[in-house]
Amino acid sequence: MSPPSRSGIYVSRGVALLLTGLTVALLLALVALAALYGNCMLVQPSEQHIPGVKDTASTPPGGQELARPTRTPEAAGEPEVATTSQDWPPPSGPWNHSRLPPWLVPLHYDLELWPRLWPDNLSYTESVTFTGRVNITVRCTVATSRLLLHSCFLTYKQVEVWGPLALGTRNATVGRVPVDKVWFALDTQYMVLDLGQVLQPGSRYELHLGFSGQVLQCASEGLFLNLYTDQGKLRGLIATQMEPTFARTVFPCFDEPALKATFNITIIHHPGYKALSNMPQLGQSERIDVNGSRWMVTTFHTTPRMPTYLVALAICDFDHVSRTERGKEIRIWARKDAIANGNVDFAMNATGPIFSFLEDLFNISYSLPKTDIIALPYFDNRAMENWGLLTFDEASLLLEPDDELTEKRVRILAVIAHEVGHQWFGNLVTMSWWNNIWLNEGLASYFELGIINYFYPKLPKNEIFFFNFLHGVLREDHFQESRAVSTNVENFTETNEIKELFNIYTYHKGACMARMLDSFLSQDLFISALQSYLETFSYANAEQDDLWRHFQMAIDEQNIIQLPTTVKNIMDSWTYQGGFPVITLNVSTGVMKQEPFYLEKTENQTLVSHNNTWIVPIFWMKTGTTQPLVWLDRSSMVFPEMQLSDSDSDWLTLNFNVTGYYRVNYDELGWKKLNQQLEKNPKAIPAITRLQLVSDAFALSKNNYIEIETALDLTKYLAEEDEILVWFEVLVNLINRDVISDVNNYAIYPLLKKYLLKRINSIWNTCSTLIRKNVAALQDDYLALLSVEKVFETACWLGLEDCLQLSKELFRKWMADPEIAIPHPIQRVALCNGIALGTVKEWDFLFSFYINITKEKEERGSRLIPAMSCSKEPWILNRFMEYVVTVNPNPFNETNVIEAVAASEVGQYVAKDFLLNNWPAVSERYGPESVDALVWVIGRTISTDLQIMELLWFLGNVLDEHQKIAAHAKLQAIKTENLKNKKRIARMAEWLWKNT
């Protein structure tokens, strides 16, 4: 599946408190949603006869209360259906385990699905049903009279077992195995068949199953429906999402990744639709149903061996574009409007070269004869790598032809690259069980980087990886609460538990593991080992140890790269434990230590001995020269070569190019030497290392590893820093809500402005020149574009007159002619400043513009609503908030507006007063679920118990007892965080006073 979204925006502690506080409301909402979802999933489809198939059994759907058969069990050959009596199902057995017993191995599925979707009978309220049949060829490995396979929310009309089959034939005259009873183990989602005779090991059998179910409208899971508008008309399509365990909701199957089989897929659909599946179309015929309606029967070629989670189909009336890459057709399907407007052209031009790039890299051709890619109007997962039929959410694939934003192009390119990468990692070679899902997701994520670099060679490769992967996961990962990359989920029984494994650790930390491995092996060895791994396990399954073994084979076949131990020992130390180490070097003694990274480390944690060590590759640089790799494989080691002399020119950095998954700390002398070098000649230290130094220092200071003053010392040289990405990292650590949320109470406010104004002029002049003359010059570097926004925002916040005038100039030109767009990278900031520096005239113009736009309202609203909240006039902000709670229909999200107002320096107090004075109207408008979010809005600046009591006294009139308890806990947490921030900020203010 697609990786988690990477916006480049990271959540502050204050925002994290808000998110934590939302839990109670979210739980209440989830209860309601669960009830709705349950209705969507659990409603039994009306029974429909499967044409040409005798109703030999009628059994209830998995997950339903089990019912008696509609006919008597004496009917010849009909299995009895178990009831939910106290003595059934049996209390223990293989149905209590999360893994299928190894009694049967699936070899082949003949699958037919018939969704009853009519193009002229679409409705948001009417459910769509489907029927289907599947013949599963299995090989028996253990003598058994009981069969288990997966099934969930399906109703059955046929349950038969035939065999044993003659090898190499499809013998229609083989005997029928009696099925005595069919029942369902609800917790583990098993369908259980009790047979009247024992199946013989080594023999093959066929399971014949006829079933029906509902097409889901509530989420993108299993077989689901999209209703959308195209060419001014309501239209519908059906698609699938089987990963991780939703195939069992579409057809009965052996729904585990290691149980691969081949598939012959048949789709019955309305003649007005096209049918797509994993393989090319084999043929078409017509079928007339019992009502005389004509249907199209589309069959497809046999798939390679693959897991059930890759089975895919789509039924739609989309248009498509196509091209041929190395003799294989690639088609991209989308709404007719999107095709006509050229919205798929960028993806179409990129996809073929991505396939070729990976084929050449791995020296393994793509396995299937074609590739279809479909852009779904609504798809919760962003994208899915189904073999031969990749599904995307429109936002992850479509691009306006005139959209020159490299950021959007790189984002789309990255998602395509990820899913195409899965054609090798996941589809060709599949992990054996979900505990090793990182073998799919982490490796696919890592190769996004190479593909982005292939298309955009001017982008800084190390910096791209830092911001796209490493930066975010290091902020989330810590020793107290972290999931290992390779997780033991053998006992997981819930789909949601498996879905939780598709997280930032699996994708981003997995990519970091691959990059670290690549760095200490060399790229040639890394790729050679992966080629061997892919060739060996093609069309099969692999474990993590299989991957390590092939890397070890590559190491053993050469004598240049030497490791301190086996690849397995090295990498297991990273993949089987959560968190990451902090590496601390004393440059006076050469002693290097490692310890787990804790959030807000306490003194007690440093005293407690721990057995958690990593085998750490240390790439390092000394006085501008890269040094040979060394390894830290114990808690503490001495490296005499890392001792520094008293010379002013000596300095040293660890984790060169930031290829290691750890943070680096130094003793006082080590940091001092780096500061001296930065002030003397910062360019001697590579840009990626300067970026790393800032990131590490502020993260370590925030979590009590070093003093805040040590991190601030690194910023003294900034007047000479011309790398905008380094400036970005400094500014996100200095100019954030934790530091400046309540500026009237902090002495830091004028000191910080004065300090930065002395240093920002040079980088501001560079940015303003680009903005005024040629912002397009940065189009090939989207990271720089994002950084320009932060510098622009900071310069205006500092009151730099040139920045304020530029904002007013851009806003006036846009007001005069909205076709003269403000450059996208600075649009949000320019709009905010245009409103803050303007009058009611500018505000009314922006408000009218928002009300009247129809295209991309949600996307534009994410910029316009915060901009309208930037006004310095309390009466304008009050009018804005009053509008959102009184006017119908309301085009705004009420709480978003109030929270946006509260985010500004003036608005935080205006929003608080507004809520206190208008609570009944807000509560009536938005409902009780607004309480948690708004408690944070009105309490974000509190720092005393008296303030808490005052707010609780007011809230006591509108909250029930449960909400009062939650609000009190949240306000206490906010107070604690604010008091902690005040101590940190007081020290920052003292440092600034000394250094300004």
Look up residue 228 and give its DSSP letter. Answer: E
Which residues, 6+ apart, have CB-to-CB distance to 995 below 8 Å?
A: 712, 716, 755
What's the residue count for the chain?
996
DSSP H helices in 235-392? 336-340, 345-362
Which residues, 6+ apart, have CB-to-CB distance to 848 below 8 Å?
A: none
First to last CA, the chain: 50
Q: Take residue 24 and report the two structure tokens written for it.
A: 């109670």
Q: Take residue 333 and report the two structure tokens written for it.
A: 């399907």
Contact 25, 932 (CB under 8 A): yes
Pairing verdict, β 204-215 and 144-150: unpaired
Active site amino acids:
419, 507
pLDDT at residue number 509:
96
In 553-685 the beta strands, taken as DSSP E runs, fall at 581-586, 591-596, 616-618, 620-622, 625-626, 630-632, 636-638, 652-654, 663-666
Q: Which amino acid is at 395?
A: A
Burial of 81 (0-12, 13-18, 19+ CB in 10 A): buried
537: number of Cβ within 10 Å: 18
DSSP H helices in 588-682? 603-607, 668-680
600: number of Cβ within 10 Å: 11
Angle at 850 between CA 849 and CA 853, to 5 degrees: 80
What H or E segment, with its residue span, contains residue 408?
A: helix 406-421
Q: Which amino acid is at 703?
A: N
- CA atoms 679, 684, 685, 691: torsion sign: positive
Pairing verdict, β 262-269 and 294-300: antiparallel
Q: Take residue 588 and report the two structure tokens written for it.
A: 């006076």
Look up residue 817 and give its DSSP letter. Answer: -
Backbone angles phi, psi at 879, to 5 degrees: -65, -40
- The interaxial angle of helices 510-521 and 544-556, nearest 10 deg, is 10
Pairing verdict, β 281-288 and 222-230: unpaired
Contact 721, 763 (CB under 8 A): yes
In whole angstroms, what is the distance from residue 563 CA to residue 566 CA?
7
Contact 426, 444 (CB under 8 A): yes
In whole angstroms, what is the distance from residue 957 CA to residue 939 CA?
16
3-class DSSP state of 660:
coil
Burial of 411 (0-12, 13-18, 19+ CB in 10 A): buried
Pairing verdict, β 663-666 and 581-586: parallel
- Starting from the edge strand earliest in sequence, which strands make up the sheet with 144-150, in order? 80-81, 179-185, 190-199, 144-150
Side-chain-facing half-sphere of 676: CA atoms under 13 Å = 14
Task: Divide the 996 residues of the chain into consecutive groups of 10 and give the mean pLDDT of each group.
Answer: 53 37 39 38 33 32 30 43 50 87 97 95 88 98 96 96 80 81 92 96 97 92 96 95 97 98 98 98 96 96 98 98 97 97 96 97 97 96 96 95 78 96 98 94 95 88 91 87 74 72 93 97 96 98 97 96 96 93 97 92 57 91 95 96 90 96 97 96 95 96 94 96 93 79 64 92 87 64 77 91 92 89 83 94 92 60 85 94 81 74 84 83 72 73 79 73 81 83 86 91
Placement of tokens 């989670």 in the chain:
309
- CA atoms 654, 655, 660, 663: torsion sign: positive
In whole angstroms, what is the distance from residue 674 CA to residue 567 CA?
33
In whole angstroms, what is the distance from residue 736 CA to residue 739 CA?
6
SS (H, E, C) 89-156: CCCCCHHHCCCCCCCEEEEEEEEEEEECCCCCCCCCCCCEEEEEEEEEEEEECCCEEEEEEECCCCEE
Q: Name the pTM for this structure.
A: 0.87
Contact 80, 280 (CB under 8 A): no
Q: Which amino acid is at 829?
A: V
In whole angstroms, what is the distance from residue 137 CA to residue 263 CA?
10
CA nearest to 501, candidates 514, 484, 480, 513: 484
3-class DSSP state of 365:
coil
Burial code of 128-167, b = ≥16 C-beta within 10 A, e = fewer? bbbbbbbbbbbbbeeebebbbbbbbbbbbbbbbbbbbbee
397: number of Cβ within 10 Å: 29
